Structure 1
Amino acid sequence: KEELMKLLEGEEGKRIVILGIGSSIRSDDAVGLEVVRCLKKKRMKKVLLIATDANPESFTGL
C-alpha cells in the first residue's frame, strides 16, 4: 500500500493518468470502474482518474 501511494504521488511536475475500464452492467467486468471510484476518495492532486465503460480509446487519443 505504501509503495502504491508513493507511486501515485508522482515526481515533481508529473501527473499520472489512471483509466478504469469496465462494464457496470456486467459486474465481473466492473473492477476498473471500482478501482477508480476507490482512488477518487484519496483526492490526489497529481492523479487524473477516468472511468469508462465504453470506447476507452476515446480517452487515450489512439
Structure 2
Amino acid sequence: MKLLEGEEGKRIVILGIGSSIRSDDAVGLEVVRCLKKKRMKKVLLIATDANPESFTGL
C-alpha cells in the first residue's frame, strides 16, 4: 500500500468514507473527525468523499 508522503511511520490506517452533502452518508467522515481529536501517533486518519483508491494507491 502506498501511503501519503510523510506518513511512512503510521501502523494503522482508518479511512472514513462518506458524503457531507448527504448527511446520512457522512458517518465515516464524522468518525475520522472525532478520532483526530485523540491525536493517535501511530494511526493515519483519512476522511474522503472520493474513491478510496485516490488516497491508498491501490
TM-score range, shorter chain: 0.7 to 0.9
9-18 vs 41-50, greater mean Cα deviation: 9-18
* Cα distance in 2 between the residues matched to 1:22 and 1:13: 26
- Quick one: percent identity of the two aligned structures? 100
User: Could you report, residue by residue, the CA deviation over 1:2-39 in whole angstroms, capped at 9, with x for unpaired residues?
Assistant: xxx99999999861000000000000000000000000
Which structure has more helix as a fraction of its residues?
1
After the TM superposition, list the runs of 4 or more consecutive aligned residues in structure 1 that deviate by more than 6 angstroms.
Answer: 5-14
Structure 2 counterpart of 1:13: 9
Name the Cα RMSD after superposition. 6.3
Q: Which has the larger radius of gyration?
A: 1
Structure 2 length as normaliser, TM-score? 0.79
Say how many residue pairs are matched.
58
